[in-house]
Structure 1
Amino acid sequence: MWIAVTAFGEFFDGALNSACYSYLGCDSGFFGYDAIEHFLFGFAAVLAIVWVCRKFPQYSILSTSYWKTGLVLVASITLIAVLWEIGECFRDAYLLDIAHETLLDFARHINYLAQPSNIDTMGDLAFNLFGSLLAVLYINPRLQKFCARTTWL
């Protein structure tokens, strides 16, 4: 599901705020189209990290304590999300200030900014956090069993 939503957003310009508006009626903001992408990323990234830690236990960041493991997973996803938003900020700054591209035109309803507003950025971070929290709750029984039998720490 996350791959399909991200592919629509990235490869078919569905996540661009002006392109998204004609299809879904959404706009930039806290609940913009990319909120779905960020929520699904948070969920999928937790599952991916747990899978990698099970596959390669010598490189695992998981603890024997469920709560510590949950906190590490949520914090890791939040760090990735913050770094992603910083990258979007650098992209917009480069394209606007150095490349002098027209990314924003209110008269023609064009908004190709990766970060159109502070509300959009906060929504992106919040939905990454919500997705990762839901994933930690979803894998709770399996993760507790995995943490209990882990002996590498």
Structure 2
Amino acid sequence: MSSPLDSWLFWALLSAVFASLTAIFAKIGIANIDSDFATLIRTVVILVVLTGIVLAMGKFQPLGSIGGKTWLFLVLSGLATGASWLAYFRALKLGQAAQVAPVDKLSVVLVAIFGVLFLGEKLTLQGWVGVALVGAGAVTLAIKL
């Protein structure tokens, strides 16, 4: 019998739980602070924690062993993450968490579209229906009637 720790679904659900807590904790945390400065604090915490995890688990790799293409796309990913976090915290500062988080999850729709366009991934009809439902659900949650 395989362990839940070997399941992508386990880790994806755990990610969703932590992402939801991120929105709630951030909304409370940014009440009396600039959202960009709050993002900096969050980033420093993440850097410290991840460094500890990588070192404790012996997963550090010599930086010279990382290829140029890997560096390029990890740097681009880091820049996109930083921009996403800055925008997310600014949105949380200005709006309600219950509206901001669903709009942020439109990233699910964009990942599916970008995966098809840039990675050659294929979606079935069921996949496209799911993407459309996620998009419709996010918009429905975000609209304030």
**TM-score, normalised to structure 1's length?**
0.34
By percentage of residues, which structure has more helix?
Answer: 2
**TM-score, normalised to structure 2's length?**
0.35
